[in-house]
């Protein structure tokens, strides 16, 4: 029998967080052992934010519900449901949801997200 050319993930890896944000990795290092790319579903609560970071991977974000704010190399970009954004690796970025409603979105990272390559700044 030949090797299968697909990876079925019956349930996402739920990333433990302390800030109320839901992170479900469906494809990636933690969930499927994939290092080339990752796919995660996330829900950021109202008034959520995280420290600046300078990831070494590209990240595509697609907002499904609510709004999300990005500070990218000094620029401020806000996405709403139905909009997408590509942030290239090496950009200094800060993600937040300063709004009153949750923000639900999907994120694709190439190569895959890794705590070792996100390069978060200390608070």
CATH number (domain holding residue 92): 2.60.120.10
Could you tell me if residue 115 is inside a domain? no
pLDDT of residue 2: 84
Q: Is 42 among the domain residues? A: yes
DSSP 111: S
Q: What are the tens digits of pLDDT across the range 24-55?
A: 999 999 999 999 999 999 999 999 999 999 99
Q: What is the pLDDT of residue 13?
A: 98
Q: Confidence class of residue 86 from pLDDT cuts 50, 70 and 90?
A: very high
Say what the pTM is: 0.94
Asked whether residue 6 carries a pLDDT value surpassing 90, the answer given is yes
Q: Which one-letter DSSP state was computed for residue 120?
A: B
Q: How far apart are CA 14 and CA 31, in angstroms?
A: 9
Closest CA to 114 of 9, 32, 21, 30: 30
Sheet containing 93-97: give its strands across: 48-49, 93-97, 67-72, 75-80
Residue 49 domain boundaries: 19-110
Q: What is the pLDDT averaged over residues 96-105?
A: 99
**Beta-ladder partners of 84:** 62
Q: Is residue 12 part of a domain?
A: no
């Amino acid at each position: 029998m030949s090797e299968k050319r697909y990876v079925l993930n019956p349930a996402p890896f739920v990333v433990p967080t302390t800030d109320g944000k839901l992170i479900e990795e469906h494809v990636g290092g933690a969930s499927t052992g994939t290092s080339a790319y990752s796919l995660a579903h996330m829900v950021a609560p109202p008034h959520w934010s995280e420290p600046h970071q300078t990831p070494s991977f590209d990240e595509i974000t697609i907002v499904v519900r609510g709004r999300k704010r990005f500070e990218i190399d000094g620029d401020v970009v806000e996405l709403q449901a139905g909009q997408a954004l590509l942030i290239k690796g090496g950009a200094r970025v800060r993600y937040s949801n300063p709004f009153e409603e949750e923000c639900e979105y999907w994120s694709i990272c190439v190569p895959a997200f890794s705590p070792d390559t996100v390069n978060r700044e200390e608070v």
